[in-house]
Homo-oligomer: A and B are copies of this chain.
């Protein structure tokens, strides 16, 4: 493991879209890159080996969920999350900001930090400082600064207040991080809702700080697709070109493609595994509902030219059967396929950018990926 924080190289661009390499202490990662979400230091339906088999080089885990289970002391015992969960790739941890925003119960945010209840019911105050300390205990390779996320329908005044707090917390996060760097990288998060003026102000403020990379936060929280794409473009354009750009919590295969077009390098989303739980499979011909009766006798793979573990070893009819009887194994096979598909989408996008073929690739796939297909045969 190299004792460097994150570096980033852009290899080639096609308009705003870019192909690059994210240099981490756990190896170089080609971008654009998708990070599967292992919320609680693990996936629900797939193993770490399964995740590795999909081509994932970096995964995301959630500070909020890890705070009281297993808790920082357990990470101390193991020397970090990698050893704890047997994952040798890179790990990015979010700060807890988004989880606190999306909590169903009571929460209060003041300048000091966020007051809320943990999943166990225990009261907790999460500050920018304590979030960094928790992420240091977790030992992730990329940490996120604590931010204040607001719903997209919040008025401009209150969205601005949240943004101002986010900017103050960003500086406090950097100060805490400076005390004990230990090879971890730290990313800042841009806020500002769907208000262009606020997004510009936030991008300028956060983009001027010495973070290792920058995230576009506060999207995928109720705004329209047009708003999301406009805000993504606005932020990505104004962020420092030599640093990686990460769009948090987005999205469908088409959403990823649209964001790459607008200059985003990194993604995380629960959709590939969540769609698997609903019985949906991503393919390059469109989305397939694997539970439909048409799949009952399908003795070929889910997707013909796919070399994921599911397509290489399981007939679609068997995955269909497992889904029909409610077996977690059916979800596992679809989750492996969907995550592998998402990695392939990133690889293909990168290859298209590197070979000057991005515009036709983008034009064709944005139509194709959005389709619903009835059967792979």
Using a CB–CB cutoff of 8 Å, the interface residues on chain A facing chain B are 40-47, 65, 69-70, 73-74, 77-78, 84-86, 296-297, 299, 313-315, 317-318, 321-322, 324-325, 327-329, 332
From the candidates B78, B296, B299, name the one contacting A317 in the complex (CB within 8 A): B78
Nearest-Cβ distance from residue A93 to partner chain B, whole angstroms: 16
Determine if A70 and B328 form an interchain contact, defined as CB atoms under 8 angstroms apart: no
Determine if A78 and B315 form an interchain contact, defined as CB atoms under 8 angstroms apart: yes
Expressed in whole angstroms, the Cα–Cα distance for A69 and B325 within the complex equals 8
Complex: chain B residue closest to A314, CB-CB:
B86
The interface residues of chain B lying within 8 Å CB-to-CB of A45 are 328-329
**Chain multiplicity (copies):** 2
Determine if B329 and A73 form an interchain contact, defined as CB atoms under 8 angstroms apart: no
19 inter-chain pairs at a CB distance below 8 angstroms, sorted by A residue, are: A40-B325, A40-B327, A41-B321, A42-B321, A43-B329, A44-B327, A44-B328, A45-B329, A46-B329, A47-B329, A69-B324, A69-B325, A73-B297, A77-B297, A78-B315, A85-B318, A86-B313, A86-B314, A328-B328
Expressed in whole angstroms, the Cα–Cα distance for A186 and B37 within the complex equals 48
Expressed in whole angstroms, the Cα–Cα distance for A47 and B70 within the complex equals 27
Q: Which one of A41, A70, A313, A332 has the greatest number of beta carbons of chain B within 10 Å?
A: A70
Determine if B84 and A42 form an interchain contact, defined as CB atoms under 8 angstroms apart: no
Expressed in whole angstroms, the Cα–Cα distance for A322 and B65 within the complex equals 12
Expressed in whole angstroms, the Cα–Cα distance for A325 and B45 within the complex equals 13
Expressed in whole angstroms, the Cα–Cα distance for A42 and B332 within the complex equals 13
Expressed in whole angstroms, the Cα–Cα distance for A153 and B65 within the complex equals 50
Nearest-Cβ distance from residue A47 to partner chain B, whole angstroms: 6
Nearest-Cβ distance from residue A314 to partner chain B, whole angstroms: 7
Could you list 6 further interchain pairs (A-B, Cβ under 8 angstroms) beyond the known A65-B325, A77-B297, A78-B299?
A: A41-B321, A42-B329, A44-B327, A69-B321, A77-B299, A85-B318
Expressed in whole angstroms, the Cα–Cα distance for A44 and B297 within the complex equals 21
Ranked nearest first, the 4 interchain pairs of A and B with the lowest CB-CB distance are A40-B325, A70-B321, A328-B328, A77-B297
Determine if A318 and B77 form an interchain contact, defined as CB atoms under 8 angstroms apart: no
The interface residues of chain B lying within 8 Å CB-to-CB of A70 are 296, 317, 321, 324
